[in-house]
């Protein structure tokens, strides 16, 4: 039945190729980042402060920045705080920290407050004050495949006497912004001191274009590899690859915002998740985004800071009602 075999084989090619490229849920920083930090210290012997395309933040420059630590990694040794860091967050009220949902969920379940500790009042992961977590609230509609609604609130067990960040609740237009965090640097190192990087805010259309180019290349390569394996002519594989690429939907939703540098080299990365994307308005820091996700070429070891691909952030203004409802309901 040759007339049936070909369509069925091509249909299978569509399904397998698409699955190989898109079948991946959000990474779990709670598990992955502390292990990577511990391995780094074991290999290098100490923490580092180097970053490509950014600089070390001044002490006290971002008093609202919070680091989340895995409680089971902590000891009385301050170095354990460096190894325990897995995500960032921003103080928006004395007892409330804004972060990403993918930082506080695991396989669809919200992480227990007992499993995490907030580190406040420091740019140095080996200093600051540890604060217990009282409750954790991931957005009810968070989707770990599309990364839509990637926002969460963490309630602290005690009030923190530090200036909170101002939230951009109106969806103002910004051309430039700063991303801060303790995440992986472009040369594969994990910093001890808070780092900041100046980046540009770009349109979702431009951001979608860069990410879809990566997906298109990956799909075409997957189809070619599978076609070769099953003896399908290259011309047919090319046609399937083109059709798949043309059908890729925009990965960004209206709840997301993009920022980075067109030529690459400056971006948020692993360990920065949940931290703030901020702009300066009349000398005041205003948070417009939350570090959420990013992409890179299929063969890239680290999917951060690549040319024509930007970091994706949860758009704070999209969640103003949700934030207000949660922080009011539990007070």
Q: CB under 8 Å to 125, separation ≥6 — which residues? A: 47, 67, 81, 82, 85, 119, 182, 192, 193
pLDDT of residue 48: 39
- Dihedral sign for Cα atoms in the order 296, 298, 302, 307: negative
**What is the spatial distance between Cα 211 and Cα 145, in angstroms, rounded to a whole number?**
15
The tens-digit pLDDT sequence of the chain (331 residues) is 333 334 434 445 555 545 445 445 555 776 666 666 566 555 554 443 333 356 899 999 999 999 999 999 999 999 999 999 999 999 999 999 999 999 999 888 999 999 999 999 999 999 999 999 999 999 999 999 999 999 999 999 999 999 999 999 998 899 999 999 987 665 667 789 999 989 999 999 988 888 888 887 777 888 888 878 877 888 877 777 777 777 778 899 999 999 988 765 555 666 688 999 999 999 999 999 999 988 766 666 666 556 567 889 999 999 999 999 999 976 5
237 belongs to a structural domain: no
pLDDT of residue 1: 32
DSSP string, 94-130: TTEEEE-GGGSEETTEEPPGGGEEEEES-SBTTSSEE
R_g of the chain computed on alpha carbons: 21
pLDDT of residue 14: 52
135 belongs to a structural domain: yes
Q: What's this model's pTM, rounded to 2 decimal places?
A: 0.84
pLDDT of residue 146: 92
CATH number at residue 194: 2.40.10.10
Q: What is the largest CA-CA distance in the chain?
A: 75
24 belongs to a structural domain: no
pLDDT of residue 6: 43
pLDDT of residue 166: 97
How many domains does one find in the chain? 1
76 belongs to a structural domain: yes
Q: CB under 8 Å to 20, separation ≥6 — which residues? A: 222
217 belongs to a structural domain: no
pLDDT of residue 149: 98
Please pick, among 124, 144, 150, 267, the residue that the annotation labels catalytic: 150
Residue 173 designated active-site:
no
**What is the spatial distance between Cα 217 and Cα 299, in angstroms, rounded to a whole number?**
11
**What is the spatial distance between Cα 259 and Cα 268, in angstroms, rounded to a whole number?**
9
Residue 150 designated active-site:
yes
Summarised one tens digit per residue, pLDDT across range 277-321 is 999 999 999 999 999 988 766 666 666 556 567 889 999 999 999
Please pick, among 90, 237, 273, 292, the residue that the annotation labels catalytic: 273
pLDDT of residue 267: 56
Residue 102 designated active-site:
yes
pLDDT of residue 294: 81
Residue 261 has, within 13 A of its CA and on its CB side, a CA count of 17
Domain assignment of residue 295, given as a range: 29-44+55-208+250-329
pLDDT of residue 209: 86
269 belongs to a structural domain: yes
């Amino acid at each position: 039945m040759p007339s049936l075999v070909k369509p069925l084989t091509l249909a299978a090619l569509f399904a397998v190729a698409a699955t190989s490229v898109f079948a991946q849920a959000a990474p779990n920083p709670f598990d992955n980042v502390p292990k990577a930090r511990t391995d780094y210290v074991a290999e290098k012997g100490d923490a580092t402060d180097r970053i490509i395309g950014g600089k070390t933040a001044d002490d006290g420059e971002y008093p609202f920045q919070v680091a989340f630590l895995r409680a089971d990694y902590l000891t009385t040794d301050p170095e354990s705080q460096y190894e325990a860091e897995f995500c960032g967050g921003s103080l928006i009220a004395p007892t409330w920290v804004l972060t990403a949902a993918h930082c506080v969920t695991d396989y669809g379940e919200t992480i227990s407050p007992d499993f995490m500790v907030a580190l406040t009042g420091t740019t140095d992961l080996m200093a600051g004050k540890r604060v217990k977590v009282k409750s954790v609230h991931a957005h009810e509609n968070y989707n770990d495949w599309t990364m839509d609604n990637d926002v969460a609130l963490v309630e602290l067990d005690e009030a923190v006497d530090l200036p909170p960040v101002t939230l951009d609740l109106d969806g103002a237009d910004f051309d430039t912004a700063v991303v801060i965090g303790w995440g992986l640097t472009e040369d594969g190192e994990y910093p001890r001191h808070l780092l900041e990087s100046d980046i540009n805010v770009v349109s979702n259309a431009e951001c979608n274009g860069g990410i879809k180019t990566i997906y298109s290349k990956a799909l075409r390569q997957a189809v070619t590899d599978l076609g070769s394996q099953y003896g399908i002519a290259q011309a047919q594989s090319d046609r399937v690859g083109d059709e798949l690429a043309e059908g890729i939907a925009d990965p960004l939703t209206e709840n997301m915002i993009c920022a980075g540098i067109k030529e690459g080299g400056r971006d948020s990365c692993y360990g920065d998740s949940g931290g703030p994307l901020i702009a300066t308005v009349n000398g005041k820091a205003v948070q417009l985004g939350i570090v959420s996700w990013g992409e890179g070429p299929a063969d890239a070891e680290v999917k951060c800071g690549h040319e024509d691909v930007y970091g994706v952030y949860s758009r704070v203004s999209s969640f103003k009602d949700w934030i207000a409802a949660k922080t009011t309901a539990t007070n």
